[in-house]
Amino acid sequence: MKGRLAPASVLALLALGCGDATSSAPLSAAVDPLTWAGDACPDGATLAPVDDLDPQLRACVRADDPSVLHGPFVRWAPDAAIAADGQRVLAGAHADGLRVGVWSRWRLDGAPLDQGAYVAGARDGEWLTWRADGSLERRQTWVMDQREGPATRLHADGSVQVSEQWSADRPEGEWVWQRPDGSVEQRVTFSAGRRDGPAVSFHPDGTKAAEGAYADGLREGPWTSWYPDGTVEAEGDFAGGARQGDWATFNPDGTPDAAGPYRAGVRHGRWTFWDYDLRDGDTVHVVRTEGEVVDGDAQGEWVGLYDATGEPFSAVTYVDGRRQGDYADYFPDGAPRSAGPFLDDLQHGRWQFWHPNGQLACEGDYHLGEEVGDWACFDEAGNSLRPGGNG
């Protein structure tokens, strides 16, 4: 159906009493004051014939041009009675083919979906949206079919979830996310619809969780994240939304976890990793392992050192991120701990393991990570524990 704007008709239809779009209480889906006998249509309009393809629709049309909607418009739910108390899914009005006044939609179970006003066919004013459970989800301001000014997204309990700002149908200015208890979760600045400017997030207790900036929708420049107690968790730079340059991560107690450079979001360059769980009896050793990473894959020789003494802990060669060839590691006093070859990151070939006193502990063969053939194992005094068999 086509439409032509007639200001007098618009004013008349706005006075029909379709509802108040600024109220958070939606129109009932089961109450309709219209009889749909034709007398509900304004002057110059008549009830449209029932459309066999859309039998649940009733609408007024121009008497002189039945192709133009003009007056109340209602669509009932499938199989609902076309009556004053029948359940509706859509209701509003037209003026010369354009939507005007308050329009409402309902779900098939009668729960409200959304409601707001039209002016000359364009959404204008505050629109409300509800969840399936009936709780109010969103308040959005529209100006001539574009989102403009403040908007609010709500938690199911009615507390504010997001406070938004819009300009020309795009996010603009500071947006604030909040938890149901009212604490701020994050603040982000938008410009021309993209994240642009400072951004900060918070732990539930209000301490900072992360801080940095966006440029044209992407993370840019230095970013830092923190554990809830304020200890730095990670710090480094972004370029075009990807990690770039030197980065460092830390454990909750502040000890270093890893450090090295990124290139276009992947590790690339010399990296160092720390391991704090190596146990030697009751003693816990810290091991620092260093080597080269190329486009995210470890390459070449990687060497592990006991952090306290600088003595060697391990040595292995990587090819495209997989251990290849001979491997060896050592006890803190330099005595051998284990030795053997890798093939595509799997133990493969003859391996030996030693006790801290230098006594051979076990010796045997691996095939692609599985023990094969006869193995021999001994206690620290050299007594046989495993004279033979398949591991």
Q: What is the tens place of the pLDDT at every residue in 300-328?
A: 999 999 998 999 999 999 999 999 999 99
- Dihedral, 127, 128, 131, 133 alpha carbons, nearest 10: -150
Q: What proportion of the chain, given as a percentage, has pLDDT over 70? A: 87
pLDDT tens per residue, range 109-147: 889 999 999 999 999 999 999 999 999 999 999 999 999
The pLDDT of residue 389 is above 70: no
- Beta-carbon contacts of residue 22 (< 8 Å; ≥ 6 apart): 125, 126
What's the CA gap between 115 and 111, in Å, rounded? 12
pLDDT category of residue 53 using cuts at 50, 70 and 90: confident
Q: Which pLDDT score is estimated for 284?
A: 85
pLDDT category of residue 279 using cuts at 50, 70 and 90: confident
Asked if the domains at 135-239 and 268-391 fall in one CATH topology, the answer is yes
What's the CA gap between 61 and 68, in Å, rounded? 5
Q: Which pLDDT score is estimated for 34?
A: 46
Long-range contacts of 374-380 (CB under 8 A, 24+ apart): 379/355, 380/355, 380/356
Which of 247, 237, 289, 238 shows the shortest CA–CA distance to 268? 247
What's the CA gap between 364 and 387, in Å, rounded? 11
Q: Which pLDDT score is estimated for 40?
A: 77
pLDDT tens per residue, range 205-247: 999 999 999 999 999 999 999 999 999 999 999 999 999 999 9
pLDDT category of residue 82 using cuts at 50, 70 and 90: confident
Q: Which pLDDT score is estimated for 32?
A: 46
Q: Which pLDDT score is estimated for 282?
A: 76
Look up the pTM and report it.
0.80
Does domain 135-239 correspond to CATH entry 2.60.120.460?
A: no
CA distances in angstroms from 1 to 69, 158, 259, listed in the order given = 7, 40, 66
Q: Which pLDDT score is estimated for 387?
A: 55
Average pLDDT over residues 88-110: 94
Q: Mean pLDDT for the chain?
A: 89
Of the candidate CATH numbers 1.10.150, 2.30.29, 2.20.110, 2.40.50, the domain formed by 268-391 belongs to 2.20.110
Domain limits, the chain? 1-120, 135-239, 268-391
pLDDT category of residue 13 using cuts at 50, 70 and 90: very low
The pLDDT of residue 68 is above 60: yes
Q: Which pLDDT score is estimated for 290?
A: 97
Count Cβ atoms below 10 Å from residue 13 Cβ, excluding itself: 25
pLDDT category of residue 8 using cuts at 50, 70 and 90: very low
